[in-house]
Amino acid sequence: MKTKCTEHSVTRIKKCMAFISALLLAAPAVSQTVYDDFEGNKLLHYGTKNGVLDTAVKNPAPNDINKSPKCAMYVRNRTQKFDNIKMPLNGKLADVSPYATYLGVPPKIKMKVYTTAPVGTLIEILLGDKSKNNTYPGGTNSQYQAHTTVSGAWEELEFKFAQIPEGSETPTDGVNQVTLLFNPNSSSSDTYYFDDITGPAVVSDKQEPVVTPDKPQDKNQKKKN
């Protein structure tokens, strides 16, 4: 009797695993875009900020996570509890509803980060409307969070959906600005290096993909061909 029950449990588990695998395989692929690789290819620009930003600094400690020679550096302003960088897009994001959900396994906004700030430091991204200056909550569509897991080395953070703020007036297909906050609601002045900001595809107002310029090496390759 015990053997039959065990066999039955194993069969049920296998069926559940097969069902979950089928759901994952059936899930539609979500196109993602690198907004800025700091090597000359970008789909946004840098607007207002509270701290000191340099978008062409030498990578402080290349490793397997980030071998790129250039990146951005940001020194947080300790006098601003919600210090942030506003980054208007060259276009707008495709509908971000696949990201702004607790259901299933939503795609993640990603960013490579290097800092000596304490492990567990919160980094936050807001997707919103630049015409409303990404104000909170009206000008913000959705909020995403990640915590650092290392200090003094590059890591790629995946930002988990936190919430659509109550009072938001920005629809999921009306996002044209990304706001980045390092250690929000604090008085710290740590330095952060970041690279390869990646998220929902950028499209024009006509819902056409916005294409980044060719990298120099790509142009040379095309000439050879």
CA-to-CA distance for 126 and 107, rounded, in angstroms?
16
* Structural contact between residues 93 and 32, judged by C-beta atoms closer than 8 angstroms: no
Which has the minimum average pLDDT: 12-16, 108-112, 148-152, 206-210? Answer: 12-16
| Banded model confidence at residue 1, pLDDT cuts 50, 70, 90 | low
Q: What class is the 31-206 domain?
A: mainly beta
Q: How far from chain centre, in Å, is Cα 178? A: 9
Examine the pLDDT at 13 and tell me if it is beyond 90. Answer: no
* Structural contact between residues 118 and 152, judged by C-beta atoms closer than 8 angstroms: no
SS3 assignment, position 145? strand
Average pLDDT, the chain: 86
Q: Mark 3-32 as b/e (b = at least 16 C-beta within 10 Å).
A: eeeeeeeeeeeeeeeeeeeeeeeeeeeeeb
Helices (H), 58-178: none
Examine the pLDDT at 21 and tell me if it is beyond 70. Answer: no
Burial classification of residue 68, based on how many CB atoms lie within 10 Å of its CB (0-12 exposed, 13-18 middle, 19 or more buried): middle
pLDDT at 204: 78
The H or E element spanning position 2 is helix 2-26
Match 């062409």 to its residue by tokens. 56
Work out the average pLDDT over 163-186: 97
